[in-house]
Amino acid sequence: MSTEPTSTEPTSTEVVTAFLSALEDLDVDRALTYADPKIVYQNVPLPPARGIEAFERQMRTMARYGTGFEARVHRIAENGGTVLTERTDVLAVNSWRTEFWVCGTFEVHDGKITLWRDYFDWTTVIAASAKGLFDVALTALRPKPGNTEKTANS
């Protein structure tokens, strides 16, 4: 029988996955509980948001205009307080959806995320976004089930 004390402190990986889960629920208040007051958030190569206020503004904007977010984690690795993720992110605004590959770096200290930096290919994001717009347009042009128009010869 082991006599070593068990830690109730979540691992860095658990913090990151709980954080991403909160974002998937568009629950900014819950997501903020995982963020350090001095968090740095960056989608490379855009400038970073520094501090909880700047980070909160970006997250609330995402939740206000977005109707869905999903982080499909394919791989996750932890080394100390650093967590690396390889994932597919899905963004939705009403019927528009886009999916793209992302690698993320998270730094976690004392159970709080101090750094979140995502890397992705902008060309892929633009192409996926255009595909999402095309899908919306196609859906709008399709006849609705049960909506049959009578022709002049009917």
Which residue in the list 27, 29, 36, 89 is annotated as catalytic?
Answer: 89
- The beta strands (E) that lie in the chain are given as 35-43, 49-50, 68-79, 82-93, 96-109, 112-119
Q: Look at the chain and count its residues.
A: 154
Kindly give, in sequence order, each residue whose CB lies less than 8 Å from that of residue 40, ignoring residues fewer than 6 positions away.
48, 49, 50, 114, 115, 116, 117
Q: Residues 80, 87: contact at Cβ < 8 Å?
A: no
Residue type, position 20, single letter? L
The answer to whether 29 is a known catalytic residue is: no
Kindly give, in sequence order, each residue whose CB lies less than 8 Å from that of residue 30, ignoring residues fewer than 6 positions away.
22
Q: Parallel, antiparallel, or unpaired: how do β-strands 35-43 and 112-119 relate?
A: parallel
Which residue in the list 29, 118, 121, 135 is annotated as catalytic?
Answer: 118
List the catalytic residues: 89, 118
